Amino acid sequence: MYSSNELKELVERSLKGILHPEGPSELYAPVSYSLSVGGKRIRPVLALLACNMFTDHITDKCVLPAIGLEMFHTFTLVHDDIMDKADMRRNQASVHKKWNSNIAILSGDAMCIDAYRLMCQAEISKLPEILACFNKAALNVCEGQQYDMNYEAKSSITENDYLKMIELKTGKLIAVAAQIGAILGGASTPDVDKLYKVGLNLGMAFQIQDDVLDTYSDSKKLGKDAGLDIAHNKKTYLLISAIRLAAGEQKKQLNILLKPNTEIDPKEKYLAVKSIYDELKVRDLAEAKIKEYFSKAASELNGVGAKPERKQAMEEFVNQLITRQS
């Protein structure tokens, strides 16, 4: 059995072992750069934890598809940073900032293609099922990102709209990581389904955590500029709760701050919106929702048919996510 830390080390070694052609350097240098600046590696580690729950044979046929999940996730971050005009990622310049947007787009495309190459290293008998799962999740991510952009221009959305958006954008890829890992490990269909739900609930909790951290963590811990969600009118759990609860002068001020194309200084806007969040105590609501999703993930994990000692590493990994600060 592996611990989550041991599996993360395995993931890091495997990422460093990925070889790309020498040129053109403008295409491949950003790929190496994006993979080398760190990250939590949640998706590949989760996949390998799920796999290890059912087998001790963690070979390249398991590791490389797991790495493919991280490659795909990194591709989405490179493109997201262009769309969000984000200059920092993991305390380093984002790819479009370090090079330019055209290079970032093309190197992101290369990562997406490479993700499929790595996914195809899975055991051939399991490949059709794995690719079907991965294809569906990959398209879901694109759907979620489009909803996220659509919602920036809307004055308000419902909580259900928001939850559906983050389920597609974040939840589904984390869910499919656990699902693919379970398939690679030879789990039964009921256990594959349960681990998919474990990942989905973890993904929902993770995204709402990100909403809170973007507002309440500092840039150094966060690894990127804090307050970007507020600056871009991103519909986060905090914001939709504030829109729902605000009344009178608070509501009037919030509507002014959220008006598109205003001349308000981004830092001033961030501090003003954050002040309203504090008055309405929406952080408490978000943290209660995070706890709810983590509880659902733990319940689904408890129902998985593996022996308790084989689930221990996954349980420890979940606990690490609960207490994360970045």
Q: Using CA atoms, how far apart are residues 14 and 261, in angstroms rounded to an integer?
A: 45
How is residue 170 annotated by DSSP?
I
**Rounded Cα gap, residues 114 and 94, in angstroms:** 20
Please report which residue ranges of the chain form alpha helices under DSSP H: 4-16, 25-36, 42-52, 60-84, 95-98, 101-119, 127-152, 159-166, 172-185, 189-216, 219-222, 228-231, 237-245, 248-258, 266-280, 282-302, 308-322
Homologous superfamily in CATH for domain 4-322: Farnesyl Diphosphate Synthase (1.10.600.10)
Q: What is the pLDDT of residue 10?
A: 97
Give 261: exposed, middle or buried? Use CB within 10 Å, 0-12, 13-18, 19+: exposed
pLDDT at 232: 87
Task: List all residues 6 or more positions away from 245 whose beta carbon is below 8 Å from its beta carbon.
Answer: 280, 282
Which residues of the chain fall short of a pLDDT of 70?
Answer: 223-224
Q: What distance in Å separates the CA atoms of residue 81 and residue 185, rounded to the nearest whole number? A: 34
Q: Partners of 89 in the beta sheet?
A: 92
User: What is residue 158's predicted lDDT score, i.e. its pLDDT?
Assistant: 95
pLDDT of 105: 98
pLDDT of residue 91: 86
- pLDDT at position 19: 86
- Tell me, what's the pLDDT at 325? 84
Instruction: Determine phi and psi for 92, rounding to 5 degrees.
Output: -130, 160
Integer Cα distance of 277 and 236 in angstroms: 12
Residue 21: cis peptide before it, omega within 30 degrees of 0: no
Question: pTM for the whole thing?
Answer: 0.95
- C-alpha to C-alpha distance for 202 and 298, rounded to whole angstroms: 9
